[in-house]
A and B are shown apart, each in its own frame.
Chain A
Amino acid sequence: MSPLDDKQASASTASGNGIRTDLKLIAEMVEPGSRVLDVGCGDGALLAFLSRRKGVDGRGIELSMDGVHQCVAQGLSVIQGDAETDLQDYPPGAFDYVILSQTLQAMREPRTVLETMTRIGRRAIVSVPNFGYWRIRAQLLLTGRMPVTEKLGYQWWETPNIHFCTIKDFVVLAEELGIRIERCMIVNGAGRVTGHAHSGLANLLGEQGVFLLRRD
Chain B
Amino acid sequence: MSAPNPAAAVPAEPATMPGHRVTLGVDKPMRLDSGAELGPFDVAYQTYGTLNADRSNAILICHALTGDHYVLDQHPVTGKPGWWEMLVGPGRPVDTDRYFVICSNVIGGCMGSTGPKETDPATGKPYGLGFPVITIGDMVRAQKLLVEHLGIEQLFCVIGGSMGGMQVLQWAVAYPESVFAAVPIATAARHSAQNIAFHEVGRQAIMADPDWAGGNYLLEGTRPHRGLAVARMAAHITYLSEPALHRKFGRNLQNRQTVTYGFDADFQVESYLRHQGITFVERFDANSYLYITRAMDYFDLAADYGGGTLSNAFRKDGKGTPVRFCLASFSSDWLFPTSESRAIVHALNAVAANVSFVEIRTDKGHDSFLLDEPEFHQVIRGFLEGCAEHRGLTRTSRT
Contact = CB atoms under 8 A, between A and B. Distances in A.
Interface stretch (B80-88, B258-266, B376-384): B376-384
A4 to B, nearest CB: 25
A59 B342 CA distance: 16
B349 A80 contact: no
B359 interface: yes
Interface in A74-96: 74-81, 86, 89-91, 94-95
Nearest to B378: A73
A94 B382 CA distance: 25
Contact of B352 (A68, A69, A79, A95): A95
A162 interface: no
Nearest to B381: A73
A172 interface: no
A68 B349 contact: no
Interface residues of B, number: 28
A91 B351 CA distance: 7
Interface residues of A, number: 22
Given A80-B358, A86-B349, A72 B324 contact: no
A65 interface: yes
B361 interface: yes
A182 B243 CA distance: 54
B354 to A, nearest CB: 5
Nearest to A78: B356
B351 A86 contact: no
Contact of B379 (A73, A77, A86): A73
Interface of B: 311, 324, 326, 342, 345-347, 349-352, 354-359, 361, 375, 378-379, 381-383, 385-387, 389
Given A57-B354, A72-B326, 17 more contacts: A65-B358, A69-B375, A72-B382, A73-B381, A75-B387, A77-B356, A78-B357, A79-B345, A79-B349, A79-B356, A79-B357, A81-B342, A86-B345, A89-B346, A89-B349, A89-B350, A91-B352
9 cross-chain pairs, A with B, having the tightest CB-CB distances, nearest first: A75-B386, A73-B382, A94-B352, A79-B357, A89-B349, A89-B350, A73-B378, A89-B346, A72-B356
